[in-house]
Amino acid sequence: GAGVSQSPRYKVAKRGQDVALRCDPISGHVSLFWYQQALGQGPEFLTYFQNEAQLDKSGLPSDRFFAERPEGSVSTLKIQRTQQEDSAVYLCASSSTSGGQGTQYFGPGTRLLVL
Amino acid sequence: GENVEQHPSTLSVQEGDSAVIKCTYSDSASNYFPWYKQELGKRPQLIIDIRSNVGEKKDQRIAVTLNKTAKHFSLHITETQPEDSAVYFCAARGGSNYKLTFGKGTLLTVNP
């Protein structure tokens, strides 16, 4: 079946622009995660959704970052007034179990470059 | 919070040799330890995982060992092949937690 998909795959933004990154999880997966992966580093947790509820947003770096999953499937990560330090790969992962205890399947990521 | 250290950062082996990557974690409550393989520009893919009630798990050429007392776990790849070349990440997840904490990754190069 189809895996986790993300769009766009690449995004170039000028500093100060707003961007929106989309994640389509595996159909029926309850749990959805966003991670940020800086160059040469491991993914770092940003936020977690169980269905439409955002249960943890402790990893969001600043109030410029906002995520939503209004219908419990597709999720959008929005970054306002982008800064150069926001340049990274943004990975989405989904899991079939509630509570996020199951295997996490990752999407291909969106590579964001802020100039 | 959880902290995961991974070593080495780079590893180069000859085809057919074994490769070992080691990780340590700080939170004794962590109970799930997956390993992901990430090829350049691709998504992280789960290759094997282990839970804290098990000391070792094997899947063909790949094995993972866990020492809960010492809080470390290792990935073992035998009979390495050029297609094993990638970045490997270890991760840990706490008992009542859901977020994965990743190591910084190991770039494995298998030379033909």
Predicted confidence (pLDDT) per residue in B68-99, tens digit: 999 999 999 999 999 999 999 999 998 667 88
Question: In sequence order, which residues have a C-beta less than 8 Å from that of residue A62 and are 6 or more positions away?
Answer: none
Report pLDDT for B98.
81
Q: What is chain B's mean pLDDT, rounded?
A: 94
Tokens of B79: 């009979």
With bands split at pLDDT 50, 70 and 90, how would you rate the model's confidence at B14?
Answer: very high
Report chain B residues touching chain A, CB-CB < 8 A: 4, 6, 32, 34, 36, 42-46, 49, 89, 91, 93, 98-105
| Binary contact (A45, B99; C-beta < 8 A) | yes
Size of interface A-B (CB pairs under 8 A): 55
A53-56 vs A75-79, strand pairing mode: unpaired
Q: Which residues in chain B have Cβ-Cβ distances shorter than 8 Å to A41?
A: 104-105
pLDDT tens-digit series, residues A35-56: 999 998 999 999 999 999 999 9
A101 lies within 8 A of chain B by CB: yes
| Binary contact (A43, B104; C-beta < 8 A) | no
| Binary contact (B102, A43; C-beta < 8 A) | yes
Report pLDDT for B96.
66
A25 lies within 8 A of chain B by CB: no
Q: Which residues in chain A have Cβ-Cβ distances shorter than 8 Å to B99?
A: 33, 45, 48, 56, 59, 100
Closest CA to B49 of B61, B65, B38, B60: B65
| Binary contact (A42, B103; C-beta < 8 A) | yes
Distance CA A114, CA A19 (A): 10
| Binary contact (A100, B49; C-beta < 8 A) | no
Distance CA A66, CA B29 (A): 30
Report pLDDT for B1.
82
Distance CA A26, CA A33 (A): 12
| Binary contact (B42, A48; C-beta < 8 A) | no
> B92 to each of B1, B4, B63, B72, B78, how far by Cα in Å?
11, 7, 16, 10, 23
Please tell me whether residue B10 adopts helix, strand or coil conformation.
strand
Low-confidence ranges of chain A (pLDDT < 50): none
